[in-house]
Structure 1
């Protein structure tokens, strides 16, 4: 168990946010109190069939849900959902600035998958402009476009004001990349910085990803914040709340990681 929580340093300029997937079934008022109690002032909301807000109910439920979060001092920074026009309209009505997606790879291979996702993004460009809601694309280890460079190539020549990169510390490290390279590469499109950490563990004859506390993995959060300072980034920092070991409650782990992130952000 984590015996004690470090005392967080004073707030910095960042919007300290959390992906609320661990509590996806909670209504907005309960979620807002929980998130604020953990020390966060922002949240990314899953809008999925398994969550309290679903794609089918988003038009009606999301605006009230986000106002309940705001009543607790928690500002919605994004939703994790799809790119249907109804999702853009719901996000706009709820004053949520971004829809986050990942670029998945299908059985037809990388090139065909990227081409298909590019068409999807081009088709959604009009909705982004009409509703004033950005599209954020996150690299993800595994059967997705997994690197910052890959996502930047996917977004090449699309309007910067509408298409952003959601940079992810764990997946950047799992790809073998260096934040001193990838963050400047993405600077013009940097919309959200996700913080989590991971290692590779050998199991059943294969190397598998294992998500850990922020101070224990392949990603060096101190280097990340040094680079963000150099870039004068002042957007949302979002802790993803993803941990492979369930023996410690996610809330305890997030308190520790938020304190650690705030600490290195002020160095």
Structure 2
């Protein structure tokens, strides 16, 4: 099993340049690769997943590697290389690994991250923090800042980047964006950055989401794309281009010279029913065309 010591010697020589924005001359060369979040396809074999992803035209996948995902965390050292090999055969990458990691002291953390780094996977999405509304908000943010600094130190050693997604919701740390900005204070975005989700940002901020984006943009390493609309019954996920997400966001990304990957999420069809897999692919193909048009 890979260990931290193993990778301390190797990652310094092999680490990729890590910057999502072109203001840093070390920005990654493969700009704006588009991957697909594969939560609806966990019933497929690794080879089936890779073949169908390649057929649609994506450059890679964002894969749930967490309890209930494609691979359980304990099985990562054995199974993750198999998934990466299936993708490699189709000239695809595992672009983002979606994890349940947010604590460097958890025994499973180093096992998962060292294996991930050894396979050349650069990004992993972190598990969320959630507020206890009975406690001081600012004290909780400062506590998570210290915890993320410990995780960032491990990421730096391994040459890997954690990304924290801004997720809409009453008690999600990062939903408001300003709190995530404060929580990342003193942390190199190359060690822990942001997976900026335009759908969740628009849900929480309404018309003021561009200001929040400007606040957090220097931390953004990955961009998530999906859409929603408001109705009488509340919020509903919808196909890309049929909701409230503003296409002008992509003009902002272009002006900012964002060079990181973009992950397409499709959440308006039930991902729990394997019989709906063909419908998911059809929906994703349509959303992919919309995304490419916007870009």
Task: Give the shorter-chain TM-score range.
Answer: 0.7 to 0.9
What's the counterpart of residue 199 of structure 1? 229
What's the counterpart of residue 36 of structure 1? 54
Shift of 1:202: 3.3
Which one of the candidate residues 280, 285, 289 is aligned to 1:250? Answer: 280
What's the counterpart of residue 259 of structure 1? 289
More moved, 70-79 vs 100-109: 100-109
Pairing of 1:84-95 with structure 2 (within 5 A): 84-95=109-120
What's the counterpart of residue 16 of structure 1? 34
Q: Which secondary structure state, in structure 2, belongs to the residue aligned with residue 57 of structure 1?
A: helix
Equivalent residues, number:
249
What's the counterpart of residue 134 of structure 1? 161
Q: CA RMSD in A?
A: 2.2
TM-score by length of 2: 0.77
Which one of the candidate residues 125, 145, 159 is aligned to 2:152? Answer: 125
TM-score by length of 1: 0.85
CA distance in 2: counterparts of 1:213 and 1:242, whole angstroms: 9
Which one of the candidate residues 197, 200, 205 is aligned to 1:176? Answer: 205
Gaps of 5+ in 2: 1-29, 103-108
Moved over 3 A (4+): 106-113, 177-180, 244-248
Shift of 1:149: 2.6
Residues 259 and 14 (structure 1), Cα distance of their counterparts in 2 relative to 1, 3 Å cut: same
More moved, 189-198 vs 62-71: 62-71
Give 1 or 2: higher strand fraction: 1
CA distance in 1: counterparts of 2:140 and 2:224, whole angstroms: 24
Shift of 1:182: 3.3
Shift of 1:132: 0.8
CA distance in 1: counterparts of 2:49 and 2:142, whole angstroms: 38
